[in-house]
Amino acid sequence: MTAKKILITGASRGIGHAICRRLAASGATVTACGSSHGGELEGLVGELRGLGGKAYALLGDLSDPAVPPRLVKEAAEAMGGIDAVVSNAGITRPALLADLAVPDWDLLFSVNVRAPWLLAAAAYPWLKRERGSFVSVASMSGLQPYSGMGAYSPSKAAAIMLVRQLAQEWAKDGVRVNCVSPGLVRTPLTQAVYDSPEAKSAREALIPLNRVAEADADMAGIVAFLLSREAGYITGQNILVDGGLLDSIQTHIVGRPRSGSGG
């Protein structure tokens, strides 16, 4: 583990929670940020401290443009600096695009795109000084449209491009910027789906690796790797972590052969 002072948003549950645990276990000092679930966030910090790590909690609504720079400022003060940021927070508002309300479009872009940009911009002086790293968590929905999910896919596609552009602009400073795009992941938000054996089996059958990802086992380690010295020559990349799901679309077309040379 190279980064030692890390700010993480969307930390109270799911993937963000798992990332905090993995990084703290690697010896990092963590500032865990959330916009809600304050009790769970404090519980996470207490857990990390109980494991012997240093951890802090900050709350703030990322749809407010004043919040990302405040989180960076307070995290840097608490930890004595910042050498990595993990922008994990994201939201959804299901709707057909023809029916989508303008405030919902704006809200998704403010949290899923503008907030990572503002976090990055505020943290840039620290990251430049430390030759640090920025990792954004997007989604496979940023690579393929997710019909009925309103602005979610457009916002995640924009988040991926944001990472690529930041990587180019900051490469001269030795600051690496990368992205992780999860596929289907079991989290508290999706747990109700997997409580149904039929729904769980149907989803697993779609995935070439034949299982749904776990936040701890399958997601947190990818982020830890991207922040590590071993990934020191990787920047501007989006790592799709979906068990092969998106590339398997042609195998789901009825009548297509599953082996041989037919097309």
User: pLDDT (tens digit, 9 = 90+) per residue, 5-58?
Assistant: 999 999 999 999 999 999 999 999 999 999 877 789 999 999 999 877 899 999
40 located within any domain: yes
29 located within any domain: yes
Q: How far is CA 234 from the centre of its chain?
A: 17
How many secondary structure helices (H) and strands (E) does the chain include? 9, 9
82 located within any domain: yes
68 located within any domain: yes
Confidence of residue 261 (pLDDT cuts 50, 70, 90): very low
Burial readout 122-154 (b: 16 or more C-beta within 10 A, e: otherwise): bbbebbeebebbbbbbbbbbbbeebeebbbbbb
Least confident of 13-27, 75-89, 161-175, 180-194: 180-194
Residue 2, pLDDT score: 62
44 located within any domain: yes
Domain range for 159 is 5-186+214-247
207 located within any domain: no
Known catalytic membership, residue 152:
yes
Residue from 56, 124, 146, 152 carrying the catalytic annotation: 152
Least confident of 47-56, 118-127, 160-169: 47-56
**How many structural domains are present in the chain?**
1
- CATH label of the domain that carries residue 58: 3.40.50.720
